[in-house]
Amino acid sequence: MSGTVQSKENLRLLSGNEAIARGAYEAGVKVAAAYPGTPSTEILEYLAEYEGAHAEWAPNEKVAVEVALGASMAGARALAAMKHVGVNVAADPIFTASYTGVKGGLVIVTADDPEMHSSQNEQDNRHYAVAAKMPMLEPSDSAEAKAYTKLAFSLSERFDVPVFLRTTTRVSHATGAVVLGDVEPPAVPLGFVEEPAKWVMLPVNARRRHVLVEERMRALREFAETFEGNRIEWGDRSLGIITAGVAYQYVREAFPDASVLKLGLAHPLPERLVRTFAAGVKRLIVVEELDPIIETHVKALGIPVEGKDRIPLLGELNPRIVRQAISGEAAPVREPAIVPNRPPNLCAGCPHRSLFFALNKCKVTVTGDIGCYTLSALPPLKSMDTCVCMGASIGTAFGMEKALGEAARGKVVAVIGDSTFVHSGITGLINVVYNRGFSTVIILDNGTTAMTGAQDHPGTGKTLQAEAAHRLDLAALCRAIGVEHVYTVNPHDQEATEAVLRREINRDAPSVVIAQASCVLLPEHRAERRPALEVVEELCNGCKACGKLGCPAIEWIPLTPEEAVAAGKKPTQKGVVRINRLMCDGCNLCPDVCKMRAMVEAAP
Amino acid sequence: MSAPGGNIFLAGVGGQGILLASEVLGEAFLAAGYDVKKSEVHGMAQRGGAVTTHLRFGPKVYSPLIEPGTADILIAFEKLEALRFIHYLKPGGTAVVNAQEIPPAPVSSGQERYPEGIEEALRAVTPHVHLVDALTAALALHEVRAVNMVMAGAASHFLPLPEDAYVAALTKRLPAKYVEVNVRAFRAGQALVGYGEMQPNDQ
């Protein structure tokens, strides 16, 4: 009976991200680096809580992978984690790390976001494994997330290859039961050994390494045939489903009796196992989220198979979609009620709202970037005109200028967050100066990486462990780049902000405006928070000017003509506004827009 | 909800502490020997948007997602969100709903009205609707952030574990200094649903 007690003591409810962190810890990871990005962020936050590993926020994903690769070269087990689009940033070192191979196990986590819950595209990063000729493990729940992370390190060392671990939102941000294990002693001794043929990717060496890469793929294909994560669960042979990742869970839920080939390795595929499975079932279907990667491969083997002709190409799957797609049956469900939307919004007191309210008065085209401030593209602010990827705001603003020439002067502005600027905005700004532009770049410096839950970065002067670090001076950096006009404003000071914006937008030279005010989610903000405001109802004339702010603390209370008269208003007044004191942050932006001066500091 | 397993659907507004409430419930079911899976969405959705958590328990759970029409219980932290997600409830399921109204952007900007008659609309779907004032209960404890534990307490009447299980999970999951107020919030939530109101709900 003690065994039961023991296992219960070691049983935890972990998210996929917690499980990856735990798996890396148990694998003895020594160096881990990441840039925050939903749904991958918590992996490093959890890893930082374990003793014995160096865990860090890197300025971007490319640096994170290079740090992890360097640690691997020195013999340590290392991990880099990122969201799917982060792999695009890191692709350069990843593709050549596939050639160099590793010394200590090297694992690269890619957390994909089907359905785009918090992303700008829906790319399927399994393509990267094929393109970079690297194996990719794909867990389907938290227990596998931990087991596959450990396995990824040992596979990396065994086959001399960096290993991808791919999750999706429903693995990273789903929780499940996980049994904790012990920490493994390192398999590889520490120390960098000079080996130019492996580590120096000059063409002469890289050509030889490419031969080894192809040999390695052949060995990995053999491994895939017997890997226990690739398994056939024989059941009713009239239906056979090949699946991987969280889609496996949906398949088991929807078709508990079907035969299933569950692939734990997304790349390379076990061809003989696929043939065996296909030969053993009457009807063969691939159920995979996003692109038809397994399906295309199975078809290339000459095996007739159903797939994306039935299973949606877009968005997430779920058991209902899978059941309906395969059997055409689904129990009828009630139509969802038609109710007002609840879109995400900038927080009450958010400095971005203040900055964009001032910027809107300047009537300019705003090239945007990735962060909370992207929400300013939504009504009522509708400030942002473009959003592509991390760092794109500056390059696209400059490109517009070059295309439009003089017509763009005073008309185009780039906005970018502090963390995003460090991630990949700096080179864009260098380009503006170097190629003689006149762009105005607004750095929205709220002192954190807010969208992903307030992570530190080089500009905050704190590490992942919240220890003091050198604080990158953004203004000094911009000047060093060659921007002569760098000004810092407090966006909550509307008058000063608007004046500086108008002046700099029209300037015949590159300029940077740093809009500096802390994110309201930061604990340090609470200390400097000003008292909440309230509306003097007798003064409110229902003009809705404050509605243009889109502040969640300001609520419109509709009035009938009778209610309006009873409240001492004209019968034509359609309503009044009220400030929700629980939400109001005291930013004092609304008094600036209220001509009736109805917003006043609330009585304590 | 009877013993072999169940689906708990939590809905509310970003910032209401839904994730923490679902973690406490999940821990309690795991400790009681159930397999547990839970799914939620972070990031963009948390900036005041609609937030949901799917929590499933049973002898063996595959999918981390609850299908529409199969939730045994809907725990809604905000009234409008109860209506938005009521189609996830199975016929005859139980809805435990916070009476608090948080106007979404189209309402607070005056473009749309906050829907009236939500309680009646919910009752048209299931007779087992329990409307509770979790905000007042939390404010009485001087802790507006405890709305989540008040809701967990109110919902606990319809979940198969004894009270101790939730309190133990809460104690395990929260920093020591927050345990007491949250246990009080949980008990306050329990008191909001009278035993007379409780009806068998697994039809």
- pLDDT tens digit sequence for B122-138: 999 999 999 999 999 99
Tokens of A159: 């086959």
> Which of B47, B118, B120, B135 is most worth mutating to test chain A (most A CB atoms within 10 A of its CB)?
B47
pLDDT surpassing 50 at residue A6? no
**What is the average per-residue pLDDT within B134-146?**
95
Tokens of B153: 């307490």
Share of chain A above pLDDT 90, in %: 94
Banded pLDDT at B194 (limits 50, 70, 90): confident
pLDDT surpassing 60 at residue A146? yes
User: Hey, are the CB atoms on B42 and A41 less than 8 Å from each other?
Assistant: yes
**What is the average per-residue pLDDT within A154-176?**
98
Alpha helices in A409-471 (DSSP H): 418-420, 426-434
DSSP bridge pairs for A386: A367
List the single range of A420-429, B108-117, B188-197 with lowest mean pLDDT: B188-197
ipTM: 0.93
For A38, A308, A317, A436, B188, the CA distances from A440, given in Å and listed in that order, are: 29, 46, 43, 12, 55
Banded pLDDT at A4 (limits 50, 70, 90): very low
Nearest residue, CB atoms, A337 vs list B13, B27, B86: B86
Share of chain A above pLDDT 70, in %: 99
pLDDT surpassing 50 at residue A5? no
pLDDT surpassing 70 at residue A236? yes
Residue A35 in contact with residue A86, Cβ under 8 Å?
yes
Q: How near does any CA of chain A get to the CA of B29, in Å?
A: 10
Evaluate the CA torsion angle A341, A346, A352, A357 in order and state its sign. positive
pLDDT surpassing 60 at residue A566? yes
Banded pLDDT at B109 (limits 50, 70, 90): confident
Q: Report pLDDT for B45.
A: 61
Q: How near does any CA of chain B get to the CA of A556, in Å?
A: 5
- What digits encode the pLDDT tens for the residues B12-52? 998 899 999 999 999 999 999 999 999 997 766 667 889 99
Task: Give CA–CA dist B191/B199, Å, rounded.
Answer: 16
Nearest residue, CB atoms, A575 vs list B37, B39, B110: B110
- What digits encode the pLDDT tens for the residues A69-82? 999 999 999 999 99
Share of chain B above pLDDT 70, in %: 92
- What digits encode the pLDDT tens for the residues B173-187? 999 999 999 999 999
Interacting residues of A260 by C-beta distance below 8 A, sequence separation 6+: A232, A233, A235, A240, A241, A242, A243, A248, A251, A252
Closest residue, chain A, to B64 (C-alpha): A174
Closest residue, chain B, to A42 (C-alpha): B42
User: Which of A385, A342, A338, A335 lies closest to A360 in space, CA to CA?
Assistant: A385
Task: Give CA–CA dist A446/A525, Å, rounded.
Answer: 10
Q: Report pLDDT for A567.
A: 93
Q: What angle do CA A526, A528, A530 make, to 5 degrees?
A: 95
> Chain A contact for B45, CB < 8 A?
yes
Q: Angle of helix B18-31 relative to helix B147-156, nearest 10 degrees?
A: 40
Q: Is A28 left (phi over 0), alpha (psi -120 to 50) or beta?
A: left
pLDDT surpassing 70 at residue A3? no
Which of 48-77 (B) contact A at CB < 8 A? 48-50, 61-65, 67-69
**CA within 13 Å, CB half, A470:** 3
| DSSP code of residue A405 | G
Task: Give CA–CA dist A412/A396, Å, rounded.
Answer: 10
Task: Give CA–CA dist A368/A392, Å, rounded.
Answer: 7
Q: Report pLDDT for A463.
A: 97
Q: Report pLDDT for A186.
A: 86
Banded pLDDT at B9 (limits 50, 70, 90): very high
User: Which of A121, A123, A126, A128 lies closest to A93 in space, CA to CA?
Assistant: A128
List the single range of A20-29, A162-171, A180-189, A484-493 with lowest mean pLDDT: A180-189
Tell me which of B36 and A334 has the higher pLDDT: B36
**What is the average per-residue pLDDT within A162-191?**
96
Q: Report pLDDT for A582.
A: 85
> Chain B contact for A97, CB < 8 A?
no
Q: How near does any CA of chain A get to the CA of B65, in Å?
A: 7
Residue A433 in contact with residue A441, Cβ under 8 Å?
no
pLDDT surpassing 50 at residue B203? no
User: Hey, are the CB atoms on B45 and A118 less than 8 Å from each other?
Assistant: yes
pLDDT surpassing 70 at residue A468? yes
The average confidence (pLDDT) of chain A is 96
Share of chain B above pLDDT 90, in %: 83
Structural domains of chain A, with CATH:
8-226 (3.40.50.970), 231-327 (3.40.50.920), 351-526 (3.40.50.970), 530-601 (3.30.70)
| Helix H or strand E segment including A267 | strand A265-267
Structural domains of chain B, with CATH:
6-101+117-196 (3.40.920.10)
pLDDT surpassing 90 at residue A421? yes
Tokens of B34: 């159930």
- What digits encode the pLDDT tens for the residues A38-86? 999 999 999 999 999 999 999 999 999 999 999 999 999 999 999 999 9
| Helix H or strand E segment including A33 | strand A31-34
pLDDT surpassing 60 at residue B98? yes
Alpha helices in A318-473 (DSSP H): 319-327, 351-360, 392-404, 418-420, 426-434
Per the document, the length of chain A is 604
Q: Report pLDDT for B43.
A: 63
**CA within 13 Å, CB half, B18:** 31
pLDDT surpassing 60 at residue B197? no
**What is the average per-residue pLDDT within A375-392?**
96
| CB-count exposure of residue A319 (10 Å: 0-12, 13-18, 19+) | buried
